Every structure is written in structure tokens, then in C-alpha cells.
Chain A
Amino acid sequence: MADHHHPEELAPVEERIAAIEALLVEKGVLDVEAVDQIVAHFEDNLGPMNGARVIARAWTDPEYRTRLLTDGTAAIAELGFGGPEGEHMVVVENTADVHNLVVCTLCSCYPWPVLGLPPNWYKAPAYRSRAVREPRRLLAEMGTVIADDVEVRVWDSSAEARYLVLPMRPTGTDDLPEEQLAGMVTRDSMIGVQRL
């Protein structure tokens, strides 16, 4: 019996991307290898493991912490991280009295060099609107209950800034080395939807 293999149909949006790429390559604006390299860079080099190193350094080096809170972009560049969506970094510090939460209400601004690409929920209309309207309730639904006497500050990345939350260092970690501390820092804690 003949087995007719039909290749999967491309969705219109996939076709459009393929068309844009094909045309730009034809015009000499892009080359396919450069695009491949960017994809590989995102997949291999960018992600919350970078942000975790920044946070662990700030926990263990008070002078670095000061520099990080004063000029986030420069302090993050000290560890070798930078590039698109990382040019205007502002680091906001959680304390016993303040919890910070990051959102981009208008699109999906997110600090790629230190967190990689945003998770789907970060880009969802529900998160983008509720983070501003009812942050405590949203956080509680995401498993993070913030005590009434802790102020919640919401940072909207749609301005000329990309925010990174500096979580509080977990108690009982005084003796841990920086590398091990970095392993405790999660993506969600640096967005502010989780406390460590």
C-alpha cells in the first residue's frame, strides 16, 4: 500500500518568517549563518543562570552590591553580560519591608542578557494587566503570599529600563560559597513572582 507522506503544512506566520528571511538573505542584508549564530547564542548563552551569578555576587560582595544597585548595566557588564535588552538595567532590592515585582504592561520587555527570553506567562495579557491591578492576589495565585505589612512595588519595564529583582538572601546560607548560592537563585525570584 502506498504511503503518501505529506509534509506538514506551514502555518501562514511561519511562511511569512521564512519569506522575510529568504528576501533579506537574497538582498544581502542577512546571512543564514548569522541568524543561526544568534539563535544558538540565545539557546546556549542567555538565561537565568547569568542573572543568578549576578545575584550571588551581590550577596557575597557588598561593594559589588552597591555598584549593582547604583548602575545595574555596568555592574552586570563586569560579569560579562550585556547586549540587546540589557542596555538600561535597573536592579531593585527586596528587603524585609519591600517586595518588588517586574512586568511589562505594553509588550514583553525583559532583560535578555541576565534572564534569557521571558516565559509565556510573562507575555500573557492576564499577567501584564493583573500585575499592576492586583499584584498581591496575582502573586498569591502564583504561590507567593506577601504579608500585609510588606509593601509591593511593581516595576513596569515599558519605560527605558529593564528591571531585575535582587531577592533577599535565604537565611542559613552564610557559609555557602558564591557558586552554590547562584544555584539557589531562580528565574521567578528575579522577576519577583517568587521569594527564596
Chain B
Amino acid sequence: MTATPFDDESLPRDNGALVFDAPWQARALAIAVAVVERLGLPWDAFRHRLMASIAEDPNRPYYESWTKALESLVVAEDLATATALDEAMPIERAPL
């Protein structure tokens, strides 16, 4: 493989493909795919939100922009509200 100046974070697998840096990124991707399928929407319904989310803050880490886009889709489709999401936060923080 050709080394690239941007590739330092990649995790190679078969034929050089990157999969995920962390499990939550895989969940984020799969949830978006599943929601779009379940609602019978074209993939563009999500993609346009992702583009807007990246444009809003181009230097934000990619899957954080992805998460913002997913949240905006879920809220726009009346599947959740921001308040409900705040309340659904799992309590997994370490005790003091």
C-alpha cells in the first residue's frame, strides 16, 4: 500500500479498508442505515443532513458530525426530542 500523509489513524484490514475506530462509530453508522431503511427514506435524507452537519463545523471529528446529523433526522421524523434524548442518557459514569 502507498503510505499517505492522512492515513495515520487508519486501521487496515483486508485490502487496506478501514472499518471503525471505535465500536460506537459502528453503532452510529448502523443506526442511521437502519432508521433510513425502516422509514423507507432515500439515503439522501440522511446524507443531506450529514453534509450540513460537516459544513457547520468542518473540523469536528467525522463521527461527531454524523451523530449530529442522525439526531437531527430522528428529531425531524418525530422519533425523539432533544429532551427525551437527554433523559435517555445511560448512567455509566464512574462513581466519585
Partner of B90, one of A6, A22, A126, A160: A22
Contacts across chains A and B counted by CB atoms under 8 Å: 183
* A85 and chain B: residue at smallest CB distance: B43
Which A residues lie within 8 Å of B50 (CB)? 107-108
Q: What 0/1 pattern do residues 15 to 42 of B give for CB contact below 8 A with A? A: 1111111101011111101111010000
A121 touches B4 (CB 8 A): yes
Query: If A24-B31, A194-B2 touch, does A186 touch B16 (CB 8 Å cutoff)?
Result: yes
- Please measure, in the bound complex, the distance between the C-alpha atom of A193 and the C-alpha atom of B4, giving whole angstroms: 9
Q: Footprint of B on A, CB under 8 Å?
A: 6-10, 13-24, 26-27, 29-30, 34-36, 38-39, 42-43, 47-49, 52, 84-85, 87, 106-109, 115-121, 123-127, 141-144, 158, 160, 185-188, 193-194
Closest chain A CB from B74 CB (angstroms): 6
CB distance from A168 to the nearest CB of B (A): 16
Contact B1 A186 (CB under 8 A): yes
Measured in the bound complex, the distance between the Cα atoms of B27 and A20 in whole Å is 10
* CB–CB A142/B30 < 8 A: no
The complex places the Cα of A36 from the Cα of B48 at a distance, in Å, of 25
Asked whether B88 is an interface residue with its Cβ less than 8 Å from the other chain, the reply is: yes
In the assembled complex, 26 residue pairs joining A and B whose CB atoms fall closer than 8 Å, in A order, are A9-B93, A15-B92, A16-B71, A16-B89, A20-B71, A20-B88, A23-B80, A24-B80, A26-B88, A29-B79, A30-B31, A30-B35, A42-B19, A42-B26, A49-B17, A84-B43, A108-B50, A116-B17, A117-B20, A119-B4, A120-B9, A121-B10, A124-B6, A125-B59, A142-B5, A194-B2
- When distances are taken between beta carbons in the complex, the residues of chain B under 8 Å from A49 are 14-15, 17
Q: Which of B44-77 contact A (CB under 8 A)?
A: 44, 47, 50-51, 54-55, 58-59, 61-64, 67, 70-71, 74
Which B residues are CB-close (under 8 A) to A120? Answer: 6-7, 9-10, 18, 21, 62
Taking a contact as CB atoms under 8 Å apart, the answer to whether B34 and A187 are in contact is no
Measured in the bound complex, the distance between the Cα atoms of B20 and A123 in whole Å is 13
Closest to A35 in B: B30
Task: With A15-B92, A119-B17, A188-B1 given, name 7 new contacts (CB 8 A).
Answer: A9-B94, A20-B71, A22-B90, A49-B14, A120-B21, A143-B2, A193-B4
A5→B90 CA distance, assembly (Å): 19
- A13 and B51 contacting across the interface, CB-CB below 8 Å: no
Chain B residues in 8 Å Cβ range of A85: 43
* Of B7, B26, B44, B63, the contact of A119 (CB 8 Å cutoff): B7
For A84, list chain B residues within 8 Å (CB): 33, 36, 43
Given A17-B24, A85-B43, the answer on whether A143 and B6 have CB atoms closer than 8 Å is no
